């Protein structure tokens, strides 16, 4: 799996951090999404899929399933 985040689109709602804290973080100043890793291992993938679904702005995507 490969995850892509677009910080210009992100509105810093923080849902991704609540849903998959091992993959997503928020920037200290702007609160926008920071990828901790873009290649989540199997055990994190379900949470990543859910985070993508919950993201209100469409800022995170899965490029390669």
Partner 1 sequence: MTDVTYPISRRRPLDPPGEATALARRAPIHRMTFADGHRGWLVTGHAAARALLADPRFSNRPEHMHLPVPGRMQLLDRQKDPRFALPPGFFIRMDPPEHTRFRKLLTGQFTVRRMKRLQPRIEEITRGFLDAMQAAGPPADLVEKFALPLPSMVICELLGVPYADRGRFQDDSRELLSLEISADEMFAAMHRVLSFMGELVRRKRVEPGDDLLSGLVETGELKDDELTGVAMLLLIAGHETTANMLGLGTYALLTHPDQLAVLRDDPAAVNGAVEELLRYLSIVHIGPIRTALEDVQIDGRMIRAGESVAVCVPVVNRDPSQFPDPDRLDLTRDATGHMAFGHGVHQCLGQQLARAEMRIGYPALLRRFPTLRLAVPPEEVPMRSDMTIYGVHRLPVTW
Residue number with CB closer to partner 1 (50 or 64): 50
Could you tell me if 23 and 35 are in contact, meaning their C-beta atoms sit under 8 angstroms apart?
yes
- The binder of partner 1 chosen from 1, 35, 49, 57 (CB under 8 A): 57
Per CB under 6 A, contacts with ligand SF4 among 17-56 are 24, 26, 33, 55-56
- The binder of partner 1 chosen from 32, 45, 49, 62 (CB under 8 A): 32
Instruction: State the Cα–Cα distance between residues 51 and 54, nearest whole angstrom.
Output: 5
| Partner interacting with residue 62 (select from partner 1, ligand SF4, none; CB below 5-8 Å by kind) | none
What tokens were used for 8? 């210009």
Instruction: State the Cα–Cα distance between residues 32 and 44, nearest whole angstrom.
Output: 21
């Amino acid at each position: 799996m490969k995850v892509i985040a677009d910080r210009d689109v992100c509105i810093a709602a923080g849902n991704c951090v609540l849903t998959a804290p091992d993959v997503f973080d928020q920037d200290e100043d702007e609160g926008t999404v920071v990828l901790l890793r873009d290649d989540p291992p199997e055990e994190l993938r379900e949470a990543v899929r859910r985070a993508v679904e919950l993201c209100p702005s469409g800022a995170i995507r899965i490029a390669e399933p």
